[in-house]
Amino acid sequence: MRAGIDVSALALTRAGTARYLQELLPRLHRHPDVELVQLGFGGPGRATAAVRDAFWYPLGLPRRACGARLDLLHCPTFRAPLRPPVPLVVTVFDLAILRFPHVFNRWTRTYSRVFVPRAVRAASAVIAISEFTKRELVELVGVPGERIRVIPLAAGQAFAQGSQAAEGEYVLAVGTLEPRKNLARLAEAARRAGLELRVVGARGWGGVETGGDGVRWLGHVSDPALASLYRGALCVAYPSLYEGFGLPVLEAMACGAPVVTSRGSATEEIAAGAAVLVDPSDPDSIAAGLEEAIGRRDELARLGLERASRFSWDRVAEQTLDVYREVA
């Protein structure tokens, strides 16, 4: 089976989609049942992203797919050809762009409103990374549930339990600086609880800034450094307003850190009783959650390690290959 996969996201981000590709690609390359062809365009930057949206997905990628004589094409985001020349698999992380378009820039809002539903509907099969995202696809895009395969993500090997832990007493937050990560309310909650907040994540969009007044922004860090920060944290807080999965929740659990996260989003599904759940719109609720998680540290660490062990990147690769076989 000759499968093409769009790797353009590796030039755009270090967050969820890039981590997905970094873990999935080597496993697919090693598998004897698939010959993997990587296809990509451009580099980082808003202008390049707009060119990629306007020309690569409708024109360039279909031509490359035809020239490569593929049996199928996998787009690991909902940016994909509207008229794919071969069977198409699309992975959808979340539909925040359709739920909360106002927090994205004008180009992304306009493009996504028109093209995202059409691209997803053009797919022979859709991979959702959680049951929450599957429900969003059915409700917001009208994808029949029988065309959706739920394949959850996993924590990488760097986050297996180890001994090195960062020093200090702090709460850790991990995520791109953008509105739905809810960092302003988390910072206020940490101040009310009398706790230092450390934030790991690249600059994003929406004018989100952090730092000062009990908050330390660390920017992007390597996976080993991030694992050390997880292990050293009093707790890890992820009170996002909307997530399709919430990989930092699982990474923190794999490192033995107690976790505080939001009710009502995919993170509640991923935590499955192994984290403290809070109302992300209420700083007092978040502050109380931080104090509870620190007080239940040993119990939550045990529950989190058990929960994280149920997710595997090898399983992600095998289930993805099952989808390939289904559509090829």
pLDDT higher for 153 or 179? 153
pLDDT band, very low/low/confident/very high, at 140 (cuts 50, 70, 90): very high
Mean pLDDT, residues 49-64:
88
Q: 157-308: what CATH class?
A: alpha beta
Give the whole-number percent of the chain exceeding pLDDT 70.
97
| Sheet strands (E) in the chain | 2-6, 35-39, 72-75, 88-92, 125-128, 148-150, 171-174, 197-200, 215-219, 235-238, 259-262, 276-278
Q: At what angle do helices 247-254 and 297-308 cross, to 10 degrees?
A: 110
The residue ranges of every structural domain in the chain are: 2-154+312-327, 157-308
The reported pLDDT for the residue numbered 268 is 97
State how far the alpha carbon of 141 is from the alpha carbons of 16, 53, 91, 105, 122, in Å. 22, 19, 14, 21, 12
Any idea which of 40-44, 124-128, 225-229 has the lowest mean pLDDT? Answer: 40-44
The reported pLDDT for the residue numbered 13 is 62
Mean pLDDT, residues 57-62:
93
Contact assessment for residue 68 and residue 4, using Cβ atoms and an 8 Å cutoff: yes
User: What value, to the nearest 5°, has the Cα angle with vertex 72 and ends 247 and 40?
Assistant: 60
Statement: residue 43 has pLDDT above 80: no
Statement: residue 11 has pLDDT above 80: no
Statement: residue 44 has pLDDT above 80: no
The reported pLDDT for the residue numbered 142 is 94
Mean pLDDT, residues 177-187:
92
Cβ neighbours for 110, distance < 8 A, ≥ 6 positions apart: none
Contact assessment for residue 307 and residue 272, using Cβ atoms and an 8 Å cutoff: yes
The reported pLDDT for the residue numbered 46 is 64
Mean pLDDT, residues 202-224:
85
For 238-282, write each residue's pLDDT tens digit.
999 999 999 999 999 999 999 999 998 899 999 999 999 999 999
Task: Count CB neighbours of 142 within 10 A.
Answer: 10
Mean pLDDT, residues 96-117:
86
CATH code assigned to 2-154+312-327: 3.40.50.2000
Statement: residue 12 has pLDDT above 80: no
Statement: residue 123 has pLDDT above 80: yes
Q: What are phi and psi of 237, to 5 degrees?
A: -110, 130
By residue count, the chain amounts to 328
pLDDT higher for 108 or 3? 3
Statement: residue 161 has pLDDT above 90: no
The reported pLDDT for the residue numbered 14 is 65
Statement: residue 82 has pLDDT above 80: yes
The reported pLDDT for the residue numbered 112 is 87
Mean pLDDT, residues 23-50:
86
pTM, whole model, 2 decimals?
0.92
pLDDT band, very low/low/confident/very high, at 136 (cuts 50, 70, 90): very high
Mean pLDDT, residues 101-129:
89
